[in-house]
Amino acid sequence: MDRLTLERRQVWIYLSTIIGGLLVGSTWPDITHLFEKLLWPALVLLLYTTFVQVPLLHLREAFRDRRFVAAILAGNFIALPLLSWTLLQWLPVDPVVRLGVLLVLLVPCTDWFITFSQLGAGNVPRAIAVTPLNLLLELLLLPVCLWLMLDTKLAAPLSFTEIWPALLVVIVPMIAAAVSERWFEAQPTREKLRDRLAWWPVPLLALVVFLIAGAQISAVRNALSLFPVVVPLFVAFLVLAALIAKGLARLMALPTDQGRTLAFSLGTRNSFVVLPFAFSLPDGWEVAAVVIVLQSLVELFGMVFYLWWIPRKLFR
């Protein structure tokens, strides 16, 4: 099996591991504490193997095509935050659910959107070049967007005293990835190691969702009643994000392959980057993490639809 085949089948891998985690957590409830302890190092490894594929030290290359970059920035950091805030009005006034939805919808993806761009006949070099810009901006702008969209009471659980462990879980792998990138580029033969690390995000994310499902079994049960409300919202986001990409591509006069890449960028979200922040929330806010995992599953099934819709219909 090659890596592209593995990534093409990842939705079924994650679904299987979630079901397995729910079964293990239901059968052996005492194991949830062990899963909670294992979750943090698993997240660190996942983020490192993901960030190490992002050209963090080549941010300047993202600006070679200014029209494409302008479309990416306008879509991910202006249009989609406005769309997320609009969709939020259809949710029940539940601070946990609203926070989980915003956490995941406000951050553009920096990893598997490249894979889907490749599978959907997009422009892969442009996708790779723009990833460090998306990553840096989402981390800088996420607190601003949350402050604007949530009232003070809802934003209180995200104070620095609460989330500093989550910040370390994200920042430390990012720094390690940047150091590794410099080390890889020092000798061409070391690139083979980075290619091997590129195999790890899918199995590590499968491990993470397995641990989440097993550790948060009670939160999953509490969130079941929310699925009929949240799932349609995530589906609507996917459809509207693609249509926004179509409009921006026309406005910026982007080539077809770049328009497809733009659609995959707007349609995919960085769910596991915000998971550490969801897990740092106080007791009683566990449903936020369940909402984030649910969005990633909806998104993956949505990407199967995108792979047909984007190249064959929307950007022919």
Note the pLDDT of residue 276.
Answer: 87
Query: Which among 108, 107, 94 is positioned nearest to 150, based on CA atoms?
Result: 94
> What's the rounded mean pLDDT across residues 118-140?
90
Query: Which among 209, 204, 183 is positioned nearest to 194, based on CA atoms?
Result: 183
Give pLDDT tens digits for 22-47.
899 888 888 888 988 898 999 999 99
pLDDT value at 79 more than 90? yes
pLDDT value at 146 more than 60? yes
For Cα atoms 236, 238, 240, give the angle at the middle one, nearest 5 degrees. 65
Domain boundaries, position 28: 3-314
> What's the rounded mean pLDDT across residues 211-217?
86
Note the pLDDT of residue 157.
Answer: 60
pLDDT value at 177 more than 80? yes
Note the pLDDT of residue 77.
Answer: 96
- The mean of the pLDDT values for the chain is 87
> pLDDT confidence of 243, banded at 50, 70, 90?
very high
> What's the rounded mean pLDDT across residues 1-23?
83
DSSP letter at 61 equals G
Q: Which residues pair with 108 in a beta bridge?
A: 269
- What's the token pair of residue 250? 């026309």
pLDDT value at 160 more than 80? no
Whether residue 276 contacts residue 170, with contact meaning beta carbons closer than 8 Å, is answered with: yes
Note the pLDDT of residue 311.
Answer: 94
Rounded Cα gap, residues 313 and 316, in angstroms: 6
The helix/strand/coil state of 269 is strand
Rounded Cα gap, residues 143 and 87, in angstroms: 19
Note the pLDDT of residue 156.
Answer: 58
Gyration radius of the chain over CA positions = 19
Whether residue 210 contacts residue 18, with contact meaning beta carbons closer than 8 Å, is answered with: yes
Note the pLDDT of residue 175.
Answer: 92
> What's the rounded mean pLDDT across residues 282-306?
88
Whether residue 249 contacts residue 261, with contact meaning beta carbons closer than 8 Å, is answered with: no
Of 59-63, 129-133, 246-250, which has the strongest mean pLDDT? 246-250
| 314, amino acid identity | L
Note the pLDDT of residue 75.
Answer: 97
- What's the token pair of residue 78? 């202006």
- What's the token pair of residue 150? 């949530």
DSSP letter at 28 equals -
CATH of the domain at 214: 1.20.1530.20
Note the pLDDT of residue 253.
Answer: 94
Cβ neighbours around 60 below 10 Å, total: 10
Note the pLDDT of residue 103.
Answer: 92
Whether residue 150 contacts residue 81, with contact meaning beta carbons closer than 8 Å, is answered with: no
Note the pLDDT of residue 214.
Answer: 87
Note the pLDDT of residue 159.
Answer: 62
Rounded Cα gap, residues 18 and 288, in angstroms: 16
Is 312 buried (19+), middle (13-18) or exposed (0-12) by CB count in 10 A?
A: exposed
> What's the rounded mean pLDDT across residues 148-165?
66
> How far is Cα of residue 213 from the mean position of the Cα atoms in its chain?
18
Q: Which of 77-81, 141-145, 266-270 has the lowest mean pLDDT?
A: 141-145
H or E element, residue 197: helix 191-197
Rounded Cα gap, residues 223 and 220, in angstroms: 5
Rounded Cα gap, residues 278 and 108, in angstroms: 17
> pLDDT confidence of 244, banded at 50, 70, 90?
very high
pLDDT value at 57 more than 90? no
pLDDT value at 21 more than 60? yes
Note the pLDDT of residue 259.
Answer: 96
pTM of the full structure: 0.89
pLDDT value at 155 more than 60? no
Rounded Cα gap, residues 71 and 68, in angstroms: 5
Note the pLDDT of residue 241.
Answer: 97
Residue with tokens 């328009």: 259
Note the pLDDT of residue 154.
Answer: 58
Q: Number of folded domains in the chain?
A: 1
Whether residue 293 contacts residue 209, with contact meaning beta carbons closer than 8 Å, is answered with: yes
Whether residue 215 contacts residue 32, with contact meaning beta carbons closer than 8 Å, is answered with: yes
Note the pLDDT of residue 114.
Answer: 87
Note the pLDDT of residue 65.
Answer: 84
